[in-house]
Chain A
Amino acid sequence: MKRIMRLKFKNIISIVCVFTLLLSVLLSSACRPKNSESIILAGSTSVQPFAEILAEQFMALHPEINIDVQGGGSAAGILAANSSTADIGMSSRALNTDESKTLIAVEIARDGLAVIVHPSNPIVNLTLAQVSAIYSGEITSWDALGDAMKKKIHVVTREDGSGTRSAFESLVMGKVAIMPQAIVQDSNGAVRQLVADDPAAIGFISLGLVDLTVKAIELDGIQATREHVIDGSYRLTRPFLFLTRTQPEGTAKLFIDFTLSTEGRRILNNEGLITMGDVPQK
């Protein structure tokens, strides 16, 4: 019994010490008042990377301000802006009438929507109607499109709350629903990776994210390039929006102003987006 008793004092004391230490560390960090100079952006995973770059540059210019960027999808961003969980919500699609009643939207850029296939896929051009038919399940095989590949089309879409998906649905599908058998991925990157790996896959992502691992197809004969988005011939485009519940003020206003300024627009253009009064890329 003696051994256990000695063990007890040392150990109880040390455990209590560790806890007190942890507790005091946590409490001391909690006691700092919530920084009023910090804002949170939340929402579209398409807008998120660009918001992060803007935030980094902004914080370099204003070291006393903190900006946190959170993902979740456009619908999550609208929800967060409405519930004030985020100071600024991010959306990659236009607001509908109900949403416009409660939120103020500022368009910070326009982005093209590219329909992508595997680089080895011989298809080069599709009509909007064909894309819609593929996604609704009417056309199920690549060879129905006059292609030698006798494979079933693997349709890839984004999750329900994605602004990219909503934009795709309103621009391409119209009233027709995307088929429930479609594979769902939760980010642009994931869709791109999937299409890059699977020769029979088709998907849609932000135009700015198209790289050499996938091939963007022409729509109705128009190539998916930035220039065609600017001159309006490529019709799949959607707005990137910053959403606030009230007129932006304070730090949020500062950040939004920065985003709309020449410097902010230059940053976005460099990354492949299109902004108002387009500034030529450096």
Chain B
Amino acid sequence: MKKFGERVPQSFFLVVALSAFSILALITVFIFIEGVPIIAKVGFFNFVFGMKWAPSQGYYGIFPMIVGSLSVTLGAVIIGVPVAICCSIFLAEFAPVKLRNLIRPAIQLLGGIPSVVYGFWGLIFIVPAIRNYLGGPGLSILAGSIILAIMILPTVISIAEVSMLALPPLLKEGAFALGATHWQTIRSVLLPSARSGILAGIILGVGRAVGETMAVIMVLGNAVALPTSILDPARTLTTNIGIEMGYASGEHQQALFATGIVLLVIIMILNAGAQYAVRRK
């Protein structure tokens, strides 16, 4: 029994939705159309597992970049996640409400700061410290991991904190009634219950770390070779695109789009993982 007055807004929204879809589809299609031919030409395994990236000589192997992205992200998670969980426990369970209301906006602010500022800060403080105390040029996977850890802290902290605050108070009260201490309650009851939310937050943080470009260009050193230690300079999938896209043409450009495809696939896997983690509750 749809009145005519209903059809107009519905068609309007349909048009809007279709426009949005076509734009987003355009991007996806564009990336694939540009990227797939070079993967086909070079061969999937040669592209993804090839060790040599030298476009001027026709080598398009992105494995060093994959290793770079993976190690930097892994490092960020190893450094950042425990710290973030500690902070969120502190905020959710121990901080007085006034302090929490002061700190939360500060963390929100930190999450919005441009990555170039973090990269610059890292260049001034972290890189020289690594160079002077640990050796190597300082521009390294370690520097990248530390900076990325700092950058994903706001994301993980806020989501983990929200997850913990969203737990039914009954859980905590029940544990106290059984005689558990505060810390025991946190460890055995609250953390496991908030696990799926915390995991989703971590995956979101990982997504941000994988996608980061500018800060990483500034502190990672961008060497094309496969890194052999965390003190070695390296290049990630994103920085590879960022450095070379201004002047790449022909096959080189297609290879950058192909790198974009790889990134898209990685994000989709992460998203699927996040949805699975949330659903497992």
Contact = CB atoms under 8 A, between A and B. Distances in A.
A183 B244 CA distance: 15
Contacts of A179: 225
Interface string B230-248: 0011010000000110111
Interface stretch (A6-14, A48-56, A73-81, A212-220): A73-81
Interface in B210-224: 217, 221-224
A73 B249 CA distance: 13
B59 to A, nearest CB: 10
Interface in A254-270: none
A107 interface: no
Given A79-B249, A154-B137, A186-B217, A161 B244 contact: yes
A27 B54 CA distance: 45
Interface residues of B, number: 26
B224 A184 contact: yes
Contact of A183 (B55, B223, B243, B247): B223
B225 A183 contact: no
B10 interface: no
Contacts of A197: 127-128, 131, 138
Contacts of A73: 246-247
Contacts of A201: 137
Contacts of B233: 181, 183
Contact of B246 (A72, A177, A200): A72
B243 A198 contact: no
Given A160-B55, A160-B56, A197-B128, A183 B137 contact: yes
A180 interface: yes
Contact of A198 (B54, B55, B137, B247): B137
B221 A183 contact: yes
Contacts, number: 63
A140 interface: no
Task: Pick from B52, B127, B128, B222 the residue with the most CB of A within 10 Å.
Answer: B222
Interface in B1-47: none
A141 interface: no
Task: Pick from A75, A179, A181, A194 the residue with the most CB of B within 10 Å.
Answer: A181
B223 A181 contact: yes
A154 B131 CA distance: 11
B222 A183 contact: yes
A173 interface: no
Interface string A147-163: 00000001000011100
A95 interface: no
4 nearest A-B residue pairs (beta carbon): A161-B247, A75-B247, A180-B225, A184-B222
13 contacts: A75-B246, A76-B246, A78-B247, A79-B249, A154-B137, A160-B244, A180-B52, A181-B233, A183-B221, A183-B223, A186-B217, A198-B137, A201-B137
Interface of B: 52-56, 127-128, 131, 137-139, 217, 221-225, 232-233, 235, 243-244, 246-249
